[in-house]
Amino acid sequence: MNLIEIQTIYHSLGQPDQHQIQGWVDTALEGLNEETEIVIRIVDELESASLNKEYRQKTGPTNILSFPVDVPDEIELSLLGDLVICAPVLEKEAKEQNKVLHEHWAHIIIHGALHLLGYDHINDDDAEIMEAKEISILNKLNIKNPYIQDINE
């Protein structure tokens, strides 16, 4: 079982509940042999922008920030890390990209969980690997590939 702590600082309609988030994280972490813990903090644009500036030296809010825990091997810790999700950015992206909001939430949470596991998209090869993993996980949840546009849209 993966333990999820959710800190909801920003509330809006359409946000997933604990059960939905738990299911998405469990699917993303399927196959791990140990119990893990993730803290998910849902924030507003101001907090997201502040953290984005401090930790990535980038201006403005972003949809998700991942903070993997880095501990020495000799210390046993089940905490994978923290995910900070900016709900207003997710809502805006879903609307602009004609995506179902809960599906976009699922994608972003899975994306963040994969970052906590060490996946990255800094270069094209790593991005392809990470995207393929995301698509595979989303497929298990009956959510379509978020990287292709529907020709009917």
Beta bridge mates, 83? 40, 66
Whether residue 152 is contained in a domain is answered as: no
**Is residue 145 a part of any domain in this protein?**
no
In-domain check, residue 49: yes
The total number of structural domains in the chain stands at 1
- State the number of CA atoms in the 13 A half-sphere of 7 facing the CB: 12
Separation CA 13–CA 87 (nearest Å): 10
Domain that holds residue 136: 2-140
Residue 76 is inside which H or E element, if any?
A: none
pTM of the model: 0.91
Question: Tens-digit pLDDT profile for the chain (153 aa)?
Answer: 789 999 999 999 899 999 999 999 999 999 887 889 999 999 999 999 999 999 999 999 999 999 999 877 777 778 899 999 999 999 999 999 999 999 999 999 999 999 999 998 888 888 899 999 999 999 999 999 998 865 444
